[in-house]
Structure 1
């Protein structure tokens, strides 16, 4: 057809440009971290005796583990013909490497850090107690009688056991000893204590036998301060002339009534206890009521006696001061007197003005000891004046007593005894606290022999040796002699 242009078909465009790809991010290379070297320990440092100076902590730990490995081996424990293997794991033992290395890290050049181990002490003790039950030798007791006097002593055979505390220390030492043999040999040795004493009835029987052989009256009272009980007694409630044993209550009375002592009073106190000075005792009786002289001493003695009765000691009293009879007669003074007969039979010629019983005097010592330990009747009644420290002062004063011929003569040298003795023509006594290895105890010993008309008094040496003999018997009850 004319004038008509034929349509042309539309063609797809041709892409001639080259396509550009989207770039990928270039990875960043992370450097591999270099391990920080362990700091080394200072030169010359030792741990548990092993040189670790210059080593790293890791190297040091390995060195210690290798060198201390023997400590974790069983320990051969022997006693007699019995042997046990004590394995460290049985007592929870471990070596504390961390603590030792911590100490090594902070140590300076040349310093030494100790071995540090841990274990269960209760488990070790239980093991030793069980072993002791198998190997201990029971005690047997006998009595040795001396022919020169009426003296008797308890002797122990057997009574052998392991000293548990000592064995604990021996084993502890060996557990810490790297180069030492893994063996500990324990020994059986005589021990002390309530479990290794005769039966109290044996003491009572021996006291009875000794007292029965005396031609007079014996009064004994023995009190165990550890168990807080009477062990034995013979005529404990018989009244005896107190003589100078009353000077301990005079001292107690002074402490109850005087808040502090003047220099003069302190001198009198020492002379009364150490030298048994009678006039010093009178001065303290007078000072206890704020006075001086014999008449004030009489009043002071009466008030002290009333105080003692109120405390529960009615048989312990003094109504006439020492060496005051002539003054009382001269001045025609009236003084109080006790009953004509006191206490329980058998009776002695105790007089009416100065008396006590073994039980009461011994119990006063028990109460002063309780006071020194912060308890008891005296602190309850006199807390405004007495303290444990002041009661201990009283005991310290008594320990300075200069009489070593009676009670102390029956006791080994070096044993502390807090006591006061006394003597007159027909009676001698000693009362006090004995601080012995086998236990602390109070003993009161009163020895009386009547003097017939026209007879001379019993020789002093006989009375003295008798007190020493009873003291020796009681001491060996608490501390038996070891049979050879």
Structure 2
């Protein structure tokens, strides 16, 4: 009997202790309900351990801060007021309370007793803003910072080209999403605006033409320039079809016709005549080639053959009326170029050409050296690539220490022929250079003529021709 009473007392005591522990846990549980659970976030902010009211106040303070934006490297700020941002504290408080209401259920008490970590709770704030005002802000940003791509800029002072600039355009739709997210975030109040980038335009012939025209702006005579990219075929033209004195530049045509007339590679004597004609600018040797090789013993037949051949090749503004240094009255030869009434360089009536004609003839030699082109099509079997390469090599040996040579980097290969003629009663002073330039950035034809009724000082003409060569080289090797 006594033992049964003692067991009952132990049971009562145990139940009492259990109830006391349960009561103590319940008190702890009720106290825990006063604050939000660990890991809970609102608008991205950790509000665990705060009361709901404290969480709302913290959110209100955070959401009132400006949003930091970046457009490329430009920092901007967007104040919530500027887009009519409205935070609803009562609605947000209700949302927070509803998110943790499960804790006051038996299941919540059981989870507390079992010390089960609750799933993280994330609450979005109850807030809104004006989409129209946000769009207005983004439109203003676009007007201020968007820019179209900028083409490269020629710099005549240095004969170089400044790189073009890429274009930037705000992506409104994508940026709106990012800014809206930042407005509604209490912790990540920054956003990089989404910018569409358009590559900078490449350097084009138009910029080279602008450069060359700037270089020629102070020249009071009549200039002509022809440039051709031998890779792409793209051309640049400044007065390309003005008739000019042919001068020694026409010895390029003499050389071409010599090779066409020969059935075999030139012998030692013919090679000597060609070399002196092209590298020493020998008029006498050029006349010997016109007479003995091209004309079959008659120099006048030689110039007629040369003229007809140039026309057959499409170079209709190029002719020789007489051999070099003849003082007879030349026959009148009419061409499209010397028939123009809008410009007149008073070209030499004895021999004429244009920048375009000489440029195209040089291109034909270059193409022939590669095994194709107009010379081989027009005159099948008359030229070989080896012969055309010999022509280029001869012109590359023409070293005069001026004109285009002065404008090219040391070691640049230039196959060219130059010439000049004094002003007389019949012709204006004319100076010219015509060649092929071989460069790492591509090979190209460059022909330039300068003419004036007045004497052109060498100290003026030579630097100008050199600058033309430098600018063109820098374009192809930009």
Judge conservation of contact 2:275–2:394 (CA < 8 Å) in 1: yes
Judge conservation of contact 2:154–2:210 (CA < 8 Å) in 1: no
**Structure 1 residue aligned with 2:314:** 312
Structure 1 position 281, deviation (Å): 0.7
**Structure 1 residue aligned with 2:436:** 433
Q: Say whether residues 1:336 and 2:320 are aligned partners.
A: no
**Structure 1 residue aligned with 2:260:** 256
Identify the match of residue 202 of structure 1 among 180, 201, 207: 207
Distance 2:316 2:380 in 1: 22
**Structure 1 residue aligned with 2:161:** 155
Relative to structure 1, is the Cα distance of residues 202 and 157 closer, same or farther in structure 2, using a 3 angstrom cutoff?
Answer: closer
Structure 1 position 290, deviation (Å): 5.6
**Structure 1 residue aligned with 2:452:** 449
Structure 1 position 141, deviation (Å): 4.0
Q: Say whether residues 1:144 and 2:144 are aligned partners.
A: no
Relative to structure 1, is the Cα distance of residues 343 and 201 closer, same or farther in structure 2, using a 3 angstrom cutoff?
Answer: farther
Greater mean deviation of Cα atoms: 403-412 or 335-344: 335-344
CA deviation string 1:177-226 (max 9, x = no partner): xxxxxxxxxxxxxxxxxx99622211122222222321000000110001
Q: Structure 2 length normalisation: TM-score? A: 0.57
**Structure 2 residue aligned with 1:392:** 389
Q: For this pair of structures, how many residues does the alignment match?
A: 288
Q: Say whether residues 1:354 and 2:351 are aligned partners.
A: yes
Matches within 5 A, 1:147-296: 153-156=159-162, 198-230=203-235, 232-259=236-263, 260-289=265-294, 291-292=296-297, 296=298
Distance 1:474 1:272 in 2: 27
**Structure 1 residue aligned with 2:302:** 300
Query: What is the Cα-based RMSD across aligned positions, in Å?
Result: 2.4
Structure 1 position 463, deviation (Å): 1.8
Q: Say whether residues 1:460 and 2:458 are aligned partners.
A: yes
Secondary structure at the aligned position of 2:443 is classed as strand
Distance 1:379 1:398 in 2: 20
Structure 1 position 349, deviation (Å): 0.9
Deviation above 3 Å: which 4+ runs of structure 1? 138-146, 155-159, 289-292
The structure with more helix, counted as a fraction of residues:
2
Structure 2: stretches of 5+ with no match in the other structure: 1-148, 166-199, 423-428
Matches within 5 A, 1:53-92: none
Distance 1:199 1:314 in 2: 29
CA deviation string 1:70-102 (max 9, x = no partner): xxxxxxxxxxxxxxxxxxxxxxxxxxxxxxxxx
Judge conservation of contact 1:247–1:281 (CA < 8 Å) in 2: yes
Q: Structure 1 length normalisation: TM-score? A: 0.56
Judge conservation of contact 1:422–1:428 (CA < 8 Å) in 2: yes
